[in-house]
Chains A and B, each alone.
Chain A
Amino acid sequence: MISIKNVFKRYKSGKIYVKALDDVSLNIEKGEFIFFSGPSGSGKSTLLNIIGCLARVTSGSYILEDKKVSHWPDHFISPLRRERFGFIFQQFNLISGYSAWENIALPLIPMGLSQKERRKKALLILEDLNLTTRADFMAQELSGGQQQLVAIGRALVNNPDIILADEPFSNIDARHVENFENILENLKNQGKTVIIASHFKEPITKLVDKTFYFKNGAISPKG
């Protein structure tokens, strides 16, 4: 399903280039639960962003279901992001000034759904997450755990088949970890591909099918 071949990624930081990924190759099958492990700056988040089409490769190729998407222009990439991927960020990245349901419905705005339709879809998601009572709370009024649930809801509202989560356990307490694991299990049972990046050395859940260890921008055989 996902094929990463000899991918290099370099960032320009001031006058120097920083090597973020160094000849990375891997394959991920549909429905797999993947764990990217590695310390901060090891390249796991960069690869997650490349897979989610948020960043482009410097060289190498990224093939998604036989389509080489690594060099697609923005107007092809955007619908791909909207239809295929759901992102859960480390900082949740809810947008302040919007309510919980409005945050969840943000990806639906460019799809031309009316406010009524968007709210209906968002409320269904909030119901699944047991958060209906907080639908009209502003993002900044929610607790950390509730914010993460809303972030998950926003990632799922388009019913994507690939879920990408960057350090999803970093900003929630133990009480919510179990809740989140249940959600991930549901997603896996629905046949969705889940990729989690974390600084933890060992997989954080028994759901993981495959683990890739990152070190200095490359995949190492063992963490």
Chain B
Amino acid sequence: MKKYLNLFLVAVQNLRRYKAKSITITIPIILMMAVSSFMMFSRGGFVKDAQMAREFLPDVTIQGIEAGRVGKVSLDIIPEIKEIPHVKAVAPRVWGYIPLKIDDLDISYTLMGLDLENIPDNPEFLEVMEDGSFLVPGDRNKVVIGYGVAQTLGFRVGEDIEQALELCTISKDDLKNVGDEITIEDTLGNHGKFKVIGILKNRVQVYSADLMIVSNDDARDFFGYTKNEASDILVYLDESGSADRAALMISQLFTNTRVMTAKALTNLVKEAFGRRSGTFSAMWLILFSTVLMFAWSQTTHISVDAGTEIGILKSFGWQTGDIIIVKMVESLLYGFLGTSIGILAGFVYALMGTPGISGYCIGCASIYPKFPVPVSCDAGSIILLLLIGVIPVTLITAIPAWLAGTIDPDKAIKS
């Protein structure tokens, strides 16, 4: 065992001794793994977002169709929907985008009205509050805003006040607090005054970043809906109900509606990023093959000095196996070091909001300039990334290690 520890330490020392070679091999691995880890952490973030948001989605969402396009839906259909087997609750929802201009920035938020009298109690509502409280049935002129909205509007939120200040033009002393009132006046002429009673946590970024939640009646007033209109109707089923079956029945009953299950909505998010991750996967594959070929060429090429060194070591009784072990451990260390630094770099890049490519990652869902790409990092992802980085690099250098180990000492010393 001591012998193998000694050989391991020799390999570690070789990394230091052959600094230039170590850097040359490690940098491409760092780049490859940075791309790989950024992809994985970001994709994980989107998927996690979608899964978290799934907890708040109704089983079935019904939208109205007007002249072939999504439009308002009439609440007249609610009594019939309630008759469908396993339907537990039905709630209309009024929502819409509100284009704003804040400090020369064109921003678009989502104002969403909730019918809290009819939506089943969801204990998760208590879990998602960063500050303040959620709406309760009967609340009027009150709003709960998303974390991203709060930051942009200059609310005191989160621990990193400095970061929050970067997102708005308000000075530290003028930061708003939960309980303050805001006036919303969009560029379409809609307006309303609301008291901010709570701020949503940052954990469901895609869904909460641009969200402002008010009562259904307030939303109706804001968007100018009548009492009999809604943007969509939310259908909740009991535990034994099948969302697909209910959706099918609804679409057959009301042909002028668009019916979507929660699963379908969640998949939309996953697929949207899936297509983009495909581009990065292709890039990564090219980078991956290049790095492997590079590692192969670098380790296959044994310099005169390194060859002589192997010859000298063999002349003092080092076995072929000893040399191979040292070379393999060197490769393992290149792979581990490059992969670890790459993972860290990818994680930091993702945390920084993937500067330069965030617009592409988020695509048309880019609500306002500072919207961050969601990041999710867990032990499983890190282990997987380590395996992806370390194993191929180590395996591809097995043959060069064997070639180095079997060098004829006589010829190596003469060279």
Contact = CB atoms under 8 A, between A and B. Distances in A.
A15 interface: no
B413 A107 contact: no
Interface residues of B, number: 29
Contact of B317 (A55, A82, A115): A82
Contacts of A113: 2, 6
A110 interface: yes
A80 B314 CA distance: 11
Contact of B2 (A96, A106, A114): A114
Interface in B362-415: 408-410, 413
Which of A49, A54, A89, A97 has the most chain B CB atoms closer than 10 A to its own CB? A54
B3 A112 contact: yes
B413 A110 contact: no
A134 B1 CA distance: 31
Interface string A82-108: 110101010001011110000000110
B318 A110 contact: yes
A60 to B, nearest CB: 16
Contact of B316 (A74, A75, A87, A98): A87
Interface residues of A, number: 31
Contacts of A114: 2, 6
Contact of A110 (B9, B319, B410): B319
A54 B315 contact: yes
B413 A54 contact: yes
A55 B410 contact: yes
Given A97-B17, A109-B7, A113-B2, A78 B317 contact: yes
A107 B410 contact: no
B75 interface: no
A76 B120 CA distance: 79
Contact of A81 (B1, B7, B317, B413): B317
Interface string A154-175: 1000100000000000000000
Interface of A: 49, 52, 54-55, 74-75, 78-83, 85, 87, 89, 93, 95-98, 106-107, 109-115, 154, 158
Interface of B: 1-3, 6-7, 9-10, 13, 16-17, 305, 308-309, 311-322, 408-410, 413
18 contacts: A54-B315, A55-B409, A75-B319, A75-B321, A78-B318, A78-B320, A79-B317, A82-B317, A85-B315, A93-B308, A95-B309, A95-B312, A107-B316, A107-B317, A112-B3, A113-B6, A114-B2, A115-B9
